[in-house]
């Protein structure tokens, strides 16, 4: 059987303190996978590090945000014929050791696999987790599918969904897109993973931005998603 080709997409914005550790770990310990760093208009030395180290990278001349960065990676994956693509944070929170398990799960017939913190573990009590629970509830209400960790940034896509993410400009790697794709017939699964704490740098999501993000997701899933064009996924299997 021909081995499946997988691309790790690493969006990076001002990750000079993390990117070398993240990419070197992939190169040294997970060389069976390809990767591409998407430098999203960083204002620090992220791009310089990629050049100095000879990393495989795409350079966005301006900051286009996470959605634009991931889409650039998906376009790369689609153009180069990858079977799977996985979104990886540039801050080192995601661990490549789970990739094989995710591929095996995908080969059961799934279109998207989420690296979830809460398949077997309970969510801690916090304002952010309250928002996560509310998003899970709204996704289940609108799709009849239970997604335990809808805000996880560790998501794997198959060829069908890579093509959709690459060709559709408003399909960001967010819970509202997951909900829409589920309604279009995508089969989504989750596997338990452990995520690391950010070692260096600052997270984009502070309290104010977290509240704004959660509010946007609620509104989008409940109202906006119904206006999006339906796409065909694997014959629209349910």
pLDDT in tens, 132-156: 899 999 999 999 999 999 999 999 9
The answer for 5, left when phi > 0, alpha when psi is -120 to 50, beta otherwise, is beta
Q: Is residue 164 part of a domain?
A: yes
Q: Give domain status of residue 135, yes or no.
A: yes
* Phi, psi values for residue 158, rounded to 5°: -95, -175
Q: Does any domain span residue 236?
A: no
**Domain assignment of residue 138, given as a range:** 6-227
Residue 238 in any domain: the answer is no
> In this predicted model, what pLDDT tens digit does every residue of 180-203 receive, in sequence order?
999 999 999 999 999 987 666 555
Domain total for the chain? 1
Provide the pLDDT for residue 71.
96
Q: Is residue 233 part of a domain?
A: no
**Domain assignment present for 237:** no
Q: Which of 180-215 are b and which e, b meaning 16 or more Cβ less than 10 Å from the residue's Cβ?
A: bbbbbbbbbbbbebebeeeeebeeeeeeeebeebbe
In tens, the pLDDT along 36-87 reads 999 999 999 999 999 999 999 999 999 999 889 999 999 999 999 999 999 9
Question: Beta partners for 114?
Answer: 155, 190
- CATH number for 175: 3.90.550.10
pTM: 0.90
Closest by Cα among 151, 13, 168 to 78 = 168
The answer to whether residue 52 sits within a structural domain is yes
Report if residue 47 sits inside a domain. Answer: yes
């Amino acid at each position: 059987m021909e081995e499946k080709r997988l691309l790790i997409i690493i969006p990076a914005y001002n990750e000079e303190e993390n990117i070398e550790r993240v990419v070197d770990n992939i190169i040294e310990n997970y060389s069976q996978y390809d990767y591409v760093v998407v430098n999203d208009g960083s204002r620090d030395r992220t791009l310089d590090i990629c050049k100095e180290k000879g990393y495989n990278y795409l350079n966005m001349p301006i900051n286009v945000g996470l959605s634009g960065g991931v889409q650039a990676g998906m376009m790369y994956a689609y153009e180069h014929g990858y079977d799977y693509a996985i979104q990886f944070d540039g801050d080192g929170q995601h661990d490549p050791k789970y990739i094989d398990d995710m591929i095996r799960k995908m080969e059961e017939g799934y279109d998207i696999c989420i690296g979830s913190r809460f398949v077997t573990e309970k969510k801690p009590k916090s304002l952010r987790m309250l928002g996560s629970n509310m998003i899970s509830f709204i996704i289940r209400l609108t799709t009849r599918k239970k997604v335990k960790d809808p805000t996880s940034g560790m998501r794997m896509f198959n060829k069908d969904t890579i093509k959709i993410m690459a060709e559709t400009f408003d399909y960001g790697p967010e819970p509202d897109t997951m909900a829409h794709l589920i309604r279009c017939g995508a089969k989504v699964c989750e596997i338990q993973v452990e995520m690391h704490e950010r070692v260096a740098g600052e997270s984009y999501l502070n309290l104010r931005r977290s509240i704004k993000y959660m509010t946007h997701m609620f509104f989008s899933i409940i109202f906006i998603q119904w206006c999006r064009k339906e796409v065909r996924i694997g014959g629209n299997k349910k």
